[in-house]
Chains A and B, each alone.
Chain A
């Protein structure tokens, strides 16, 4: 579905990604793990067009992402839940969800998508008229995921969904990810919380210092000694 080939990217003179290649197949859940500053967020931003790579290619179902204007990429079926959620704090929950359905194709199905998201997160239905910035971190994360789902995407990019959340809430968020992917959605998830993420994904890549250092099935990664030592603390 999504294919990155030797992508280089950075901010100004600072290089963040070096020759990253990865692919995500339809229906899969894929994780990217690695330490802080490894370039995980940059990778997500490159896919959704917030940053343009200096080298390499990105294709979504055969369409060249790099030739698509940033605001059209969501129309290819890529929805990005950014790091730190980035809700519009002074808009209501419903208005935030509305923004997720901004593109013409999604507007037509707005009522139907809203119902879908409210089914998935009944909490959001209760809070639909509340300012998004006044909710708890976990609720905000639900709202952010809901906003991304409003566009009826084929591929969901999740950037550190567990960051800054209480352990109980982290558990809930990963439960959610499981439910979302059981609905047939393809998921690419970036996480520092390696233990948890490897429970929900099929495959994972290890990103260190801007390069892919290892990849394999979630089970294989969990058993890998070097990963266990570096990230699981065993």
Chain B
């Protein structure tokens, strides 16, 4: 009895790590936007939802292969991110930060209801069934392994972009001193658009990975949006490393919580953990607050 339980536990731990990859990807995207532009896109998970629909239609309706559709979906959501910045955030750059946040709340409404109107409220999936990998008595779905691997590759690509290119360096520099960017010959408006597109692209990548594991419906964003925000707040908004660590922490809690009960309770546990952490380590939360 104990042995079987141990195996389930190990399986849950590993599944938690696999889930953590995708959550870390989402947290990175959100942190990037916050770090550079100083706004929080509370509609971030809804961008992922749109990307998932994009994948669904390309694969199911147009019969494209998964790997051909994925880059297009990523580009689509990247364009959406740039558009979001251009239409909603740019006019509000000098407004109170809370107004920017609320405006993206409006975008959340718009995207959700747009999906409802355009795609209906049915649950849809790709109809791709990836095999299950059996390791001893443990079972891991290939879709999760793929998601973890691709998320890791995505994050490494972002890291290389941020450290090796001029634009990436400017993205890191801009949050440290906004005013003097012009002296470097940097057009901050352009950097904002690039960053928004990059944040969108990360949401697009997450969409390609999540659509393998979950059905898509207009409200699917609600099931991982809140958890992404908690991760970012716990890790410190704009703090990439903090977000990465917090993502895996939360993923483990959700996965282990789900072992004992439903997945929803895993989320509840994660929230309780978050509240607890705020009591214990508030300094970690406030690390980058001005």
Contact = CB atoms under 8 A, between A and B. Distances in A.
Interface of A: 48-50, 69-75, 79-80, 82, 86, 88-91, 95, 98-103, 106-107, 147, 151
B182 A71 contact: yes
Please report whether the interface of chain B is mostly helix, strand, loop or mixed according to DSSP: helix
A115 B179 CA distance: 28
The list of the 3 closest CB pairs from A to B, nearest first, reads: A103-B185, A70-B182, A74-B185
Given A86-B177, A102-B166, A107-B166, A91 B172 contact: yes
B116 interface: no
B176 to A, nearest CB: 4
B287 to A, nearest CB: 12
B179 A99 contact: no
B169 A91 contact: yes
A150 B128 CA distance: 53
Interface size range of chain B in the complex = 10 to 19
Given A91-B169, A98-B169, A102-B166, A71 B176 contact: no
Interface of B: 166, 169-170, 172-173, 176-177, 179-188
Given A88-B173, A91-B169, A69 B187 contact: yes
A91 B183 contact: no
26 contacts: A48-B183, A49-B182, A50-B179, A50-B180, A70-B182, A71-B181, A71-B184, A71-B185, A71-B186, A74-B184, A75-B185, A88-B177, A91-B169, A95-B172, A98-B166, A98-B169, A99-B170, A99-B186, A100-B184, A102-B166, A102-B169, A102-B170, A102-B185, A102-B186, A103-B185, A107-B166
Contacts of B173: 88, 91, 95, 99
B224 to A, nearest CB: 30
Contacts of A79: 183
Contact of A151 (B166, B169, B182, B185): B185
A75 B184 CA distance: 10
Contact of B183 (A50, A98, A101): A50
